């Protein structure tokens, strides 16, 4: 398939762009605590430049310490900060890439513990997800911040960047002025659209004044904030026309603010291309290029968007985190080689906690660390287990020239992650497993399927190294009456091995239990879900938790939180909650979703019997795919 529309050139102002794929600004937390660009950050962006993207937008970059959004936000608040960013610009240019820097002020969507000073906004209204009340900006202060945007843009130009993007979306400072959700001012900066847009107009004019007519300036907007009383597309269309008139070269149309953040990075519960209609609406009223976003993970879909005239450029954010070389692979028709983004949002979760990582690509953020070459001494490497950890280990070991064999006792590769793909909306997980399977088959890894691995095989096969990726098995607690209850494991339910009646009690309301409840209710079962914590699915990424909880409520699943099981029996459970101990009964089936236990028997039996033994993934400690594939690559690079 040839994607002619996606791989046609187009200009934004004076910047000619070789294709229509844009890397949008995505916070990495790779910057230093002082806001300086780091070598890790440069390596991350450089790899995406090498992958053939049309142009890169550097993550939101703070214009002032006062507007710092997070502890490791990149800053351009001084000439020293700008000089460090210049190293990033030079690296991307040497790789033949184009790069734009987004500038931002967080406004009320931060905290004084991060900024070191009181937070500010158009009105003294706190962000719904925070408690700190922002100080209302005065007219002179607004002018000072306007000047800071202009100075920052001038610094961007001096770094040699190809353009600057002004962040006017996602509830940050400029967006908070644009939106009636956060702007209740009665002066010239409030009221109707023209008043609320005044700050944005003044920033754009000041920036244009500083950088000149020839330097590309892009404005990013939230087409719809998806909150009551917030910006809607009809108002944003008017704002877009105003910005076009005032000299922006392009419009980058996103959505949401922090209050609707569950949708801002749409997970697998949300349809692909969810915000494309917003860009299409903006494009219908302006004559400058429009960029769209919103869970666009497939280059074929991206090509259709451009072909159908819905947008001129397509931002593929998480897709480029997963595979920086997606553009070149798509251009060459190598679609099956693209590492698929599974929209799990672990990248968002890890970025907020420490720094951005990817569930399907352990090399993200480790571009310099996870470099590999052919081994000088090829070895016979055995991998026990064909789940994501085992397959990734086999792939990397084979790429390094080792003779690799994978032993998988089941008849299908993928391990328990195949089961995780069964609940509603989660089939996308299979895309990653299918990709890994294609990789190991293409590298001529020997696959021993349906064969139980035994220690006796080592004596005859004599491997040089064994990587144990035997995964985990469901945990069975030692509760009174558990055998008599006939309780099923989640695995038995999802594989169809267990006979599930109409009234079902799911014990354990973590992510797995909640997803199983979703699966069973989708089948028409009457489901009760018990969780000993105060809320369900607390181990999931917040975006997933939001949609999964919503699904369970809509399907009328009975949810009992702060409830602990004391005893099980045939069709009943003795539980303890804040009101005391009581018996709930009348169930046809009880399902246990109380965790997993490492399947470490193989590893224990191999101790001292092989020259090199490595235990990875759930076989070491039950966790998720991100940790499994990371350990797999790390170990395979050492053999």
Nearest to 520 by CA among 539, 532, 505, 510: 505
Q: Are 409 and 390 in contact (CB under 8 A)?
A: no
Burial degree of 492 (CB within 10 A; 0-12, 13-18, 19+): middle
Q: Which of 55, 172, 262, 630 is catalytic?
A: 172
Nearest to 110 by CA among 168, 172, 63: 172
Residue environment code for 525-547, b if the CB has 16+ CB neighbours within 10 A, otherwise e: bbbbbbbbeeebbeebbbbbbbb
Nearest to 406 by CA among 437, 439, 389, 383: 383
- Strands 572-577 and 564-569, by their bridges, are antiparallel
Q: Is 269 an active-site residue? A: no
Which run of H or of E encompasses 156? helix 139-159
Q: Which two tokens stand for residue 338?
A: 């693209």
Q: Give the full edge-to-edge strand order of the sheet including 613-615.
A: 446-449, 403-408, 380-384, 465-468, 613-615
Nearest to 12 by CA among 159, 165, 205: 165
Q: Are 313 and 218 in contact (CB under 8 A)?
A: no
* CA 529, chain centre distance (Å): 28
Number of Cβ within 10 Å of residue 179's Cβ equals: 23
CA 473, CA 479: separation in Å to the nearest integer?
Answer: 18
CA atoms within 13 A on the CB side of 58: 36
CA 222, CA 224: separation in Å to the nearest integer?
Answer: 5
Report the SS3 class of residue 586: coil
CA 313, CA 276: separation in Å to the nearest integer?
Answer: 11
Number of Cβ within 10 Å of residue 389's Cβ equals: 34
Q: Could you list the active site residues?
A: 172
């Amino acid at each position: 398939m040839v994607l002619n529309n996606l791989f046609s050139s187009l200009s934004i102002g004076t910047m000619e762009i070789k294709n229509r794929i844009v890397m949008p600004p995505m916070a990495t937390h790779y910057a230093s605590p002082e806001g300086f660009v780091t070598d890790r950050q440069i390596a991350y962006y450089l790899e995406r430049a090498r992958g053939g993207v049309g142009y890169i937008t550097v993550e939101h970059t703070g214009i002032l310490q006062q507007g710092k959004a997070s502890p490791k936000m990149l800053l351009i608040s001084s000439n020293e900060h700008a000089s460090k960013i210049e190293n990033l610009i030079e690296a991307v240019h040497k790789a033949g890439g184009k790069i734009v820097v987004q500038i931002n002020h967080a406004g009320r969507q931060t905290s004084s513990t991060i900024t070191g000073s009181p937070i500010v906004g158009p009105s003294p209204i706190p962000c719904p997800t925070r408690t700190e009340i922002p100080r209302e900006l005065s007219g002179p202060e607004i002018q000072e911040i306007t000047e800071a945007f202009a100075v920052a843009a001038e610094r961007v130009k001096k770094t040699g960047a190809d353009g600057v993007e002004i962040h006017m979306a996602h509830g940050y400072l400029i967006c908070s002025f644009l939106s009636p959700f956060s702007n209740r001012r009665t002066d010239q900066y409030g009221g109707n659209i023209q008043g609320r847009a005044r700050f944005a107009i003044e920033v754009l004019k000041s920036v244009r004044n500083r950088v000149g007519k020839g330097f590309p300036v892009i404005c990013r907007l939230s087409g719809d904030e998806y909150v009551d009383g917030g910006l809607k597309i009809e108002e944003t269309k008017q704002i877009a026309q105003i910005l076009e008139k005032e000299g922006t070269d392009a419009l980058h149309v996103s959505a949401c603010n922090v209050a609707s953040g569950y949708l801002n990075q749409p997970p697998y519960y949300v349809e692909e291309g969810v915000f494309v209609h917003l860009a299409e609406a903006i494009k219908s009223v302006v004559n400058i290029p429009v960029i769209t976003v919103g869970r666009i993970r497939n280059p074929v879909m991206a090509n259709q968007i451009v072909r159908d005239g819905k947008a001129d450029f397509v931002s593929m954010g998480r897709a480029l985190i997963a595979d920086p070389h997606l553009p070149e692979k798509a251009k060459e028709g190598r679609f099956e080689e693209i590492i698929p983004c599974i929209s799990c949002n672990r990248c968002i979760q890890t970025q907020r906690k420490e720094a951005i990582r990817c569930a399907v690509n352990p090399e993200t953020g480790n571009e310099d660390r996870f470099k590999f070459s052919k081994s000088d001494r090829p070895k016979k490497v055995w991998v026990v287990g064909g789940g994501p950890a085992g397959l990734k280990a086999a792939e990397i070991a084979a790429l390094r020239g080792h003779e690799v064999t994978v032993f998988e006792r089941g008849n299908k590769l993928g391990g328990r992650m195949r089961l995780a793909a069964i609940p509603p909306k989660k089939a996308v997980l299979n895309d990653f497993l299918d990709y890994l399977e294609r990789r190991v088959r293409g590298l001529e890894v020997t696959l021993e399927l349906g064969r139980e691995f035994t220690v006796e095989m080592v004596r005859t096969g004599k491997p040089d190294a064994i990587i144990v990726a035997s995964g985990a098995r469901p945990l069975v607690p030692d509760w009174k009456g558990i055998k008599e209850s006939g309780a099923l494991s989640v695995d038995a339910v999802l594989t169809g091995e267990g006979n599930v009646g109409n009234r079902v009690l799911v014990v354990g309301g973590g992510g797995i239990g909640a997803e199983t409840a979703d699966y069973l209710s989708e089948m028409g079962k009457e489901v009760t879900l018990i969780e000993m914590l105060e809320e369900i699915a607390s181990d999931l990424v917040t975006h997933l938790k939001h949609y999964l909880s919503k699904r369970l409520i809509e399907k009328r699943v009975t949810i009992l939180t702060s409830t602990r099981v004391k005893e099980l029996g045939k069709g009943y459970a003795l539980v303890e909650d804040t009101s005391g101990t009581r018996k709930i009964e009348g169930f046809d089936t009880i399902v246990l979703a109380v965790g997993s236990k490492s399947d470490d028997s193989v590893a224990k039996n191999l101790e001292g019997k092989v020259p090199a033994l490595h235990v990875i993934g759930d076989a070491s400690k039950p966790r998720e795919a991100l940790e499994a594939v990371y350990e797999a690559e790390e170990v395979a690079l050492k053999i």
